[in-house]
Amino acid sequence: MSATTTRRRRVRLDSTAIVYLALLGVIVVGALLVGSVGRNFFSDGNIRDILTGMSVLGFVAVGQTLVILTGSLDLSVPYVVSLASLLAADTMRGNPANIAQGVLLALGVAALIGLANGLIVTKLRVNGFIATLGAGLIIKGYLDTMYKGSSGSVPREFQLLGATGLGPVPVSTIIMLAVATLAYLFLRRTRTGHHIYAVGGSLDVARLSGLRTARPIIVAHVLCSVTAALAGLLLASRLGVGSPTVGSQGGYDLLSIAAVVLGGTLLAGGRGTIWGTIGGVAIFAVLDSVMSVMQVNPFLKDVVRGVVIVAAVAVYTGRAVERRRPRFGSASPRADAEERAGTR
């Protein structure tokens, strides 16, 4: 009896643990490869490079996790990122007094875009893929028409955000991890957070249980766009200007989805964790950094990324991970309660 429950508990725990094991593996291999060309993987500069690479994608991926947990998708993020960077840089115009204004404007507009996405998905009943694809195209058209190139300028004080660090750890990474922590707590401790899981797990069951299914989805979309705006602000700080192409340059839509799935979140929704996503983002960052140090041909970098994405996800799903937890008839009521309490 207890053997069965232990086994089941161990199987479920591994989802996020596997990501971090994989991350460990990638770091070990990376350190060896980097050492073979005479560099130190754990040097300040290298760590900073990896953590910087994590920050922007991390913001976007945290938001994307929330949306995917509800069973939707957000493909408009790259354009929201670009728009946020432009709005912020244009409002600030190099004047530190305008920083708060710029930040608020960027976050506000992003929240509205997220609201629109959420409403299209819930009220018009359009699939998240299509709704956000369409929304992204609309924003892209706006960006292409209104902006002919980079624009605005970011004051020094705000640029510090992208340039300062705590030792080798950039401030931007710390902020990103703080936001990730807030998202984690939101999902675990608030009612809306639990509703997000419920709605993603099964929309009908959630509705029949009495939830207003629209609200968590809308909230998830709003938060996703807001975190994308945070990414845009970080980029504005690093670039010193706003740019209409900075979002698409990074491929943040597909990469964030890949990071989320890599982190163990189900694309269908209902299962997944923020920390898994951060682990996925970290794997990408380490991979990119190691390939750059090794001066790998840029075309091959894409091949490696593609293969790693598929291989890594295949590792979880190849195992017999139960998508539907047994609701009744489990060996021990305590194990049942533990399963229902958290989705770790």
Partner 1 sequence: MRRRNSMAVAVIGATALFAMTGCTTDPTVDEPGGGGGDADSVEWFDQEVYDRQAAELEATPEGPEGQPWLQYIDPEMIDTAAYASPGPKKACFSNASIGNPWRQTGWITMNEQLKVLQASGAISEMETRDAQDSDDTQIADIDYFIEEGNCDAYIISPNSTAAMTPAVERACETGKPVIVFDRGVQTDCQTTFIHPVGGFAWGIESANFLIDNLEEGDKVVALRILPGVDVLEQRWAAAERLFDESGIEAVDYFTGADPSEIKKIISDELAKGDVDGVWMDAGDGAVAAIEAFEDAGVDYPVMTGEDELSFLRKWDETGLTGLGTVYSNFQWRTPLLAMQKIFAGEEIPKEWVLPQRSIEKEELAAALLANDGMPDGHYARFGGEDLPGYPTVWQERIIP
Partner 2 sequence: MSTPAATRQTSRLASAALTLVSPRGAVFLLLALLLVAVAILNPNFAEPGQFIRFVQRVAPVAIVATGQYFVIVCGEFDLSMGSLITAQVVIAGNLIGQDESRSVPVLAFMVLFGAAVGLVNGLITTLLRVPSFIVTLGMMLALLGGVLFWTGGAATGNPADGFRQIGRGGIRDVPVVDIIPWSVIILAVVLAFAIWFSRRPFGRTLVAVGDNVTTARFAGARVWWVKTAAFLISSLSATVAGVLLVGYAGVHPSVGRGYEFIAITAVVLGGVVLGGGRGWVVSAVAGAFALETLFTLLNVAGVPSTLRDAIQGAIIILAVAYSAAAFRSRRRVRTAHASPTAEATPPGETAPVGHADG
Q: Which range binds partner 2 by CB under 8 A, 3-11, 104-112, 264-272, 330-338?
A: 264-272
Partner touching 62 among partner 2, partner 1, none, CB below 5 to 8 Å by kind:
none
**Other CB atoms closer than 10 Å to residue 47's CB: what's the count?**
19
| Six-digit token string for 128 | 């998240």
Alpha carbon 90 to chain centroid distance?
26
- Please state, in angstroms and rounded to a whole number, the distance separating the CA atoms of residues 247 and 266: 25
β strands within the chain, DSSP E: 165-166, 169-170
HEC readout, 32-45: HHHHHCCCCCCCHH
Q: Smaller CB distance to partner 2: residue 206 or 274? A: 206
Q: State the binding string over 286-315 for partner 2 (x if CB under 8 A, else -).
A: -----------x-xxxxx-xxxxxx--xx-
Q: Smaller CB distance to partner 2: residue 154 or 257? A: 257
Positive or negative: CA dihedral 39, 41, 43, 44: positive
298 near partner 1, judged by CB under 8 A: yes
**Interactions with partner 2, residue window 4-63 (CB under 8 A):** none
Q: Which range binds partner 2 by CB under 8 A, 25-33, 51-59, 99-107, 120-128?
A: 120-128
Q: Which of 16, 49, 15, 58 is nearest to 30 (CA)?
A: 49
Q: Which of 110, 95, 90 is nearest to 236 (CA)?
A: 90
**Interactions with partner 1, residue window 73-102 (CB under 8 A):** 89-90, 92-95
**Interactions with partner 1, residue window 17-46 (CB under 8 A):** 39, 43-46
Note the residues at the interface with partner 1 (CB under 8 A).
39, 43-46, 48-49, 52-53, 56, 89-90, 92-95, 144, 146-156, 159-160, 163-167, 171, 174, 178, 181-182, 185, 189-190, 235, 238-241, 243-246, 249-250, 292, 295, 297-299, 301
